[in-house]
Amino acid sequence: MSKNRPTEKQFSLIRLFIALAWADGEISNDEMNYLKDFFFKLDLTGEDWAKIEMYLEEPVLPSEAESLIQDFVTRLSGTREREEVIEFLQGLVSADGVVEPAEKAFLERCTAILRETGSASALIGRIRGLFQEAVLKPAASTKREEELEDFLNNRVLFNVRRKMEREKLNIEADPEALAYAALFGGLLGHVAAVHDGISAEEMAVLRRHLQETAGFDAEAVEVVASVVEESAQRGLDVFRMTRTFYERSNKKQREQLVDCLFDIAGADDDLAFAEVEAARDIAYGLKFSHREFIDAKLRYKARSKTA
C-alpha cells in the first residue's frame, strides 16, 4: 500500500465504518478492537489517529451517522470512484504482508457489494450487514484461542509463558506488566538483532531497561531477556508487536521506548544504519513524526556525550 496519507474519500470510508459500529448506540469491545486493528494499518499521523479516535470514543448520534453515510455515498458517483475504494481496501488489508482468511472473505464480499448496481440505501444496507457479520463474533474463550492471540500479537509473551510452563517457573509479575515488558523487550531485541545479531553489550542494556521499565526482580528480568534474545534472533512480527504496543501504551511510554531503541542500537558501537532504520520503522508505527524521531536521535547523542 502506498505510504501516502489517506485521501478525504478514504477518510469518508473510515467514518462510514465507525458510523455503522455506532448504529445500535454503542460500540462493543469486539467492534472497537476490530476497527482499531483495521485502521492501524493506515499510514496515519498522530493528528489523523486522534481524529479517528474522537469518533470511536464518543457516540455518533443517528443524525450525524446519517450525514457520514450520505457523505460516503455522494463520493461514489461512478464506477471509477468505487474501484478507487476497492483498491484502497485491498491495500489496507494486505498492508502488513499477511492476509488472514477472515480479511480475505471480508474484502471479497465488500468488493462484490461495491460493484453492484442499485440504490445508495441498498448499498449501505449491504455494507452494514457485512460489517456486523465480520465483527459480531463470540469472544475467544479457550486457552488455545488466547494462546493464538499472544502468538500473533506478542510472540515474546507467548514464548515466556511456554518457558515458564516447560521449566516450571513461577515469577512474581503482574500479567499486564509481563505482557507490556514482553512487547517492550521484544522491540528492543529486534533493533539489536538486525545488525550482526545481539551482542553482550546490547543484552546488558536490554536487561537494564527491562528492570527500569517493569520493576521486575532479577529472575523475572532474566526470563524475559533470555526469551527476547532467542525470539529476536529467529525473527519477530514487528508490525503486529508495534501495533499492540501502541494500543497498550501512552505517549510518554512510547517516547521512552524510542529513546531505549537508540540506547540499545548504540550499545556496542556507533549507530548502525540497519539499526537506525529498524528504530525508524517502529517509531513511525507508533505514529511519531519524522521530526519527533530526529529529536529522539538527538537526545541519544546528547546522552552519549555525557555518559
- Residue 1 located in a structural domain: no
Range among 21-35, 57-71, 155-169 rated most confident: 155-169
State the Cα–Cα distance between residues 306 and 76, nearest whole angstrom: 58
Choosing from 135, 152, 168, the residue where a domain stops is 135
Position 96 pLDDT exceeds 70: no
Contact between 205 and 264 under an 8 Å Cβ cutoff? The reply is: yes
Position 16 pLDDT exceeds 50: yes
3-state SS, one letter per residue, for 100-145: CHHHHHHHHHHHHHHCCCCCHHHHHHHHHHHHHHHHCCCCCCCHHH
3-state SS, one letter per residue, for 4-49: CCCCHHHHHHHHHHHHHHCCCCCCCHHHHHHHHHHHCCCCCCHHHH
Lookup: cell for 229:
534474545
Q: Calculate the alpha carbon distances from 92 to 13, 27, 158, 232 in Å.
A: 12, 22, 27, 27
- Per-residue confidence (pLDDT) for residue 246, from 0 to 100: 94
Position 278 pLDDT exceeds 50: yes
Verify that 165 and 48 share a domain, yes or no: no
Q: What is the mean pLDDT of residues 66-81?
A: 74
Q: What is the mean pLDDT of residues 64-78?
A: 73
Verify that 266 and 148 share a domain, yes or no: yes
Residue that wins the pLDDT comparison between 63 and 219: 219
Position 12 pLDDT exceeds 80: no
Verify that 160 and 207 share a domain, yes or no: yes
- Per-residue confidence (pLDDT) for residue 300, from 0 to 100: 94
For 107, the domain range is 8-135
Verify that 42 and 181 share a domain, yes or no: no
Residue 290: Cβ-neighbour burial (10 angstroms; 0-12, 13-18, 19+): exposed
Position 103 pLDDT exceeds 70: no
Compute the Cα dihedral for 94, 99, 103, 108 and give only its sign. Answer: positive
CA Rg value for the chain: 22
Residue that wins the pLDDT comparison between 6 and 164: 164
- Per-residue confidence (pLDDT) for residue 145, from 0 to 100: 58
Verify that 52 and 161 share a domain, yes or no: no
Verify that 107 and 173 share a domain, yes or no: no
Residue 96 CB neighbour total at 10 angstroms: 18
Contact between 132 and 109 under an 8 Å Cβ cutoff? The reply is: no
Choosing from 82, 108, 135, the residue where a domain stops is 135
Q: Calculate the alpha carbon distances from 218 to 71, 183, 215, 223, 268 in Å.
A: 57, 18, 9, 9, 23
- How many residues does this entry show for the chain? 307
Q: What is the mean pLDDT of residues 130-152?
A: 57
Task: Tell me the pLDDT of the chain averaged across its residues.
Answer: 80
Verify that 176 and 198 share a domain, yes or no: yes
State the Cα–Cα distance between residues 269 and 266, nearest whole angstrom: 5
Give the pLDDT band (50/70/90) at residue 2. Answer: very low
Kindly state the helix (H) or strand (E) to which residue 194 belongs, with its residue range. Answer: none
Verify that 179 and 299 share a domain, yes or no: yes
Range among 60-64, 102-106, 107-111, 229-233 rated most confident: 229-233
- CATH code: domain of residue 245: 1.10.3680
- Residue 2 located in a structural domain: no
Position 144 pLDDT exceeds 60: no
pLDDT in tens, 167-221: 878 777 788 889 999 999 999 999 999 988 899 999 999 999 999 988 888 888 9
* % of residues, the chain, pLDDT over 90: 33
Tally of domains in the chain: 2
Verify that 257 and 216 share a domain, yes or no: yes
Q: What is the mean pLDDT of residues 125-146?
A: 57
- Per-residue confidence (pLDDT) for residue 256, from 0 to 100: 96
State the Cα–Cα distance between residues 275 and 281, nearest whole angstrom: 10
pLDDT in tens, 17-34: 777 777 666 777 767 777
State the Cα–Cα distance between residues 176 and 306, nearest whole angstrom: 35
Position 13 pLDDT exceeds 80: no
- Per-residue confidence (pLDDT) for residue 266, from 0 to 100: 93
Q: Report the range of poorest mean pLDDT among 52-56, 114-118, 300-304.
A: 114-118
Residue 186 CB neighbour total at 10 angstroms: 27
Position 136 pLDDT exceeds 60: no
State the Cα–Cα distance between residues 119 and 231, nearest whole angstrom: 52
Residue 285: Cβ-neighbour burial (10 angstroms; 0-12, 13-18, 19+): buried
Residue 43 CB neighbour total at 10 angstroms: 15
- Per-residue confidence (pLDDT) for residue 146, from 0 to 100: 60
Choosing from 105, 135, 165, the residue where a domain stops is 135
- Per-residue confidence (pLDDT) for residue 294, from 0 to 100: 96
- Per-residue confidence (pLDDT) for residue 138, from 0 to 100: 38
Verify that 186 and 258 share a domain, yes or no: yes
